C-alpha cells in the first residue's frame, strides 16, 4: 500500500520497545493519529527528531484500516522547537495545547486547526508574550473544535450582552451571565470579554493581555467544566502557576 504524505506536528511520544516509539501526531490531512516509528530510539535514526515534542515536518505514513496504530514510513523534519523550553510558561502552554488536542481531536482533516497550532508553536518558540500566545492557541483550538464559551448573550436568560456591561462567568453553563441573572464567581468587564473573543478567533495570534492571570484562571474553570471529563489535564496547574 502506498504511503500517505501530510504535514504533522509531534504532540507526545512514548517508548514502545527498546528501539521503537509510538508518536501521537496532529496531521494536517488526517487529524490526530498514532504512528509507530521503528528504530526511532537508535542513535542516528532518521526518526530521531520525532522524540522532541512540538517538532513538525512532512510525514509518510502507511495507514492500516483495522488498527488505530499506523506505520511511519518517512519523516522530513521541518522545524524543531526546543526554544519553547526556554520559558516554563511557554512549555506548559504548549503541553496543555497538545493535551487538549489529544483529548478532543478527531481523525478528520482540519487545515485551519493545523495552521493555528503551528502558528502558536512558532510564536512560543520565538519567545514573545507566552501567556497571550499560548492562550490564543488554546482558545482558538477550542473554538474550532466547538468548545468556545458564549460571550455575546447571557447563557441563562438569552439577553444580548452590551459591550461595556460587566458580567459573570458560569463555567458549567459554558459562558457569561448578566447581572440580572446573579452569576457567582469571577466578574468580567467589556475589555476582558473583547480579549477573550479575540483569543478565540486569533488563530494563535494576539497582543499582550490586560490581566493574563485572570485569563489563565478562566481557561482553567472552562476546561474543568466543559472539557476534562473528570480526567484532569496534567499541564494545567503548571500553566497556571509557572513563572512566565
Ligand atoms: Zn441573564
Question: Using one digit for the tens of pLDDT, what is the confidence trace for 116-128?
Answer: 999 999 999 998 7
Distance, CA 147 to ligand 1 centroid (Å)? 21
66-77 pLDDT, tens digit per residue, is 788 999 999 999
By the 8 A CB rule, do 222 and 104 touch? no
CATH code for residues 4-77: 2.40.50.140
Cell of 82: 526546543
Distance, CA 87 to ligand 1 centroid (Å)? 40
Average pLDDT of the residues in 6-32: 95
Q: Where are the domains of the chain?
A: 4-77, 84-144+202-241
Distance, CA 157 to ligand 1 centroid (Å)? 4
What is the pTM (predicted TM-score) of this model? 0.93
Distance, CA 219 to ligand 1 centroid (Å)? 21
By the 8 A CB rule, do 26 and 35 touch? no
Q: Residue 114: pLDDT band by 50, 70, 90 thresholds?
A: very high
Distance, CA 168 to ligand 1 centroid (Å)? 10
Cell of 75: 519523516
Average pLDDT of the residues in 223-240: 93
State the Cα–Cα distance between residues 27 and 71, nearest whole angstrom.
Answer: 14
State the Cα–Cα distance between residues 122 and 128, nearest whole angstrom.
Answer: 10
Length of the chain: 244
Amino acid at each position: 500500500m502506498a504511503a500517505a504524505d501530510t504535514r504533522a506536528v509531534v504532540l507526545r511520544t512514548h517508548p514502545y520497545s527498546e528501539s521503537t516509539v509510538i508518536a501521537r501526531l496532529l496531521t494536517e490531512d488526517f487529524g490526530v493519529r498514532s504512528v509507530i516509528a521503528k528504530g526511532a530510539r537508535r542513535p542516528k535514526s532518521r526518526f530521531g527528531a520525532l522524540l522532541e515534542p512540538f517538532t513538525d515536518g512532512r510525514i509518510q505514513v502507511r495507514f492500516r484500516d483495522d488498527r488505530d496504530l499506523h506505520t511511519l514510513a518517512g519523516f522530513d523534519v521541518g522545524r524543531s522547537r526546543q526554544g519553547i523550553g526556554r520559558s516554563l510558561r511557554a512549555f506548559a502552554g504548549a503541553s496543555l495545547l497538545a493535551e487538549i488536542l489529544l483529548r478532543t481531536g478527531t481523525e478528520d482533516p482540519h487545515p485551519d486547526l493545523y495552521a493555528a497550532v503551528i502558528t502558536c508553536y512558532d510564536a512560543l518558540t520565538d519567545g514573545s508574550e507566552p501567556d497571550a500566545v499560548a492562550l490564543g492557541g488554546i482558545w482558538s483550538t477550542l473554538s474550532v473544535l466547538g468548545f468556545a464559551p458564549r460571550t455575546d448573550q447571557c447563557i441563562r436568560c438569552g439577553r444580548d450582552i452590551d459591550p461595556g456591561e460587566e458580567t459573570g462567568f458560569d463555567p458549567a453553563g459554558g459562558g457569561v451571565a448578566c447581572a440580572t441573572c446573579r452569576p457567582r464567581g469571577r466578574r468580567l468587564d467589556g475589555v476582558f470579554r473583547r480579549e477573550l473573543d479575540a483569543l478565540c478567533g486569533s488563530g494563535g495570534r494576539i497582543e499582550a493581555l490586560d490581566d493574563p492571570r485572570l485569563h489563565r484562571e478562566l481557561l482553567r474553570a472552562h476546561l474543568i467544566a466543559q472539557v476534562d471529563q473528570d480526567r484532569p489535564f496534567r499541564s494545567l496547574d503548571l500553566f497556571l502557576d509557572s513563572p512566565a
